[in-house]
């Protein structure tokens, strides 16, 4: 069954440090995609990064990178040089290609400390 797990309910990190947010998943579909979204306190959902299951390289977008370990079924988000504006809720999501169903994890609330 399709499943996404985020085991860190909350994290506190010092400004300018790197952050790793954990995400593990489970699926029987060999073709799938993984997303990360950011939700600031204002409530909107902001797309950060995407990784396809057949992509050869880990995805990167500016300060965001996705540490994709297919055999371990993990897709951790790495934020380099964290900023105060990175304080938000972060969600991992997965899409199975066979039906376009997309489910989310419970999220991790990240607090960046000055």
Give me the residues that bind other proteins (CB under 8 A), please.
6, 9, 33, 35, 37, 43-45, 47, 50, 91, 93, 97, 99-107
> How deeply is 44 buried, as exposed, middle or buried, from its count of CB atoms within 10 A (0-12, 13-18, 19+)?
exposed
Question: What phi, psi does 92 have (nearest 5°)?
Answer: -100, 145
Which residue's CB is nearer to other proteins, number 93 or number 110? 93
* Contact between 59 and 79 (Cβ < 8 Å): no
Min. distance of Cβ 75 from other proteins in angstroms? 14
Min. distance of Cβ 85 from other proteins in angstroms? 19
> How deeply is 104 buried, as exposed, middle or buried, from its count of CB atoms within 10 A (0-12, 13-18, 19+)?
middle
Which residue's CB is nearer to other proteins, number 16 or number 47? 47
Min. distance of Cβ 95 from other proteins in angstroms? 9
């Amino acid at each position: 069954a399709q499943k996404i797990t985020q085991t860190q309910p909350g994290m506190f990190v010092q400004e300018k440090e790197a952050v790793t947010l954990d995400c593990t998943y489970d699926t029987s579909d060999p073709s799938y995609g993984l997303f990360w979204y950011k939700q600031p306190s204002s409530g909107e959902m902001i797309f950060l990064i995407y990784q396809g299951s057949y992509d050869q390289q880990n995805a990167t977008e500016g300060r965001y990178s996705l540490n994709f370990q297919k055999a371990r079924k993990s897709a951790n988000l790495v934020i380099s040089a964290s900023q105060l504006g990175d304080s938000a809720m972060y969600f991992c999501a997965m899409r199975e290609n066979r039906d376009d169903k997309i489910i989310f994890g419970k999220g991790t609330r990240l607090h960046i400390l000055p």
